Amino acid sequence: MEEWQFPTLMSWLPDRELCQQWGGPDFRFPFERRSFLEDCRWPELSSYALQDSSGDVLAFGQYYQHLGRCHLSRLIVSPNHRGAGLGRALVVQLAQTGARALDAIECSLFVLRTNLAARTLYQKLGFEGAAYPGQRKWLDQCDFMVAPSKGFQQKQNIE
């Protein structure tokens, strides 16, 4: 993901509620380009985008090492392209890339309890609920999910 592509991503988050569901309770809104990049921790975190043939961003996600796992975060698909399988492609590719780069045997993520579409996708991809070893002020709204990274390598071989 290149810095010039972030305005597209910013346009997918038109209000505080959506922004904080996606980026967490500390993500500033309203945002400007500088604060958005800071809160995304760009370029500190590995950031990836699925793009169409003309370079338009269709989906975005990040990964980093957390609790010895490849933790996937800030996953989002363009509102105009939801339901087309891009979420699945994003999670699989991000998990493959991140697990390989971090030499992680598991991947993890948080999902809002109210986000049934995302939860269903993650479960289909092999994520299961797990106890989170810590406290966060917003954890009562989320579930922590974990999946073996080996499963994502196998998905690549099947497709």
User: Which residues are 66's β-sheet partners?
Assistant: 69
Q: What is the CATH number of domain 3-158?
A: 3.40.630.30
Q: Could you tell me the sign of the dihedral formed by the alpha carbons of 109, 119, 89, 36, in that order?
A: negative
Phi, psi of 63 (to 5 degrees): -140, 155
Q: What would the pLDDT profile of 82-110 be if each residue is shown by its tens digit?
A: 999 999 999 999 999 999 999 999 999 99
Give the containing element (helix H, strand E) for 36.
helix 33-39
Query: Low-confidence residues of the chain, pLDDT below 50?
Result: 157-159
Reported pTM: 0.93
Domain ranges of the chain: 3-158
Q: Give 96: exposed, middle or buried? Use CB within 10 Å, 0-12, 13-18, 19+.
A: middle
Identify the pLDDT of residue 73: 98
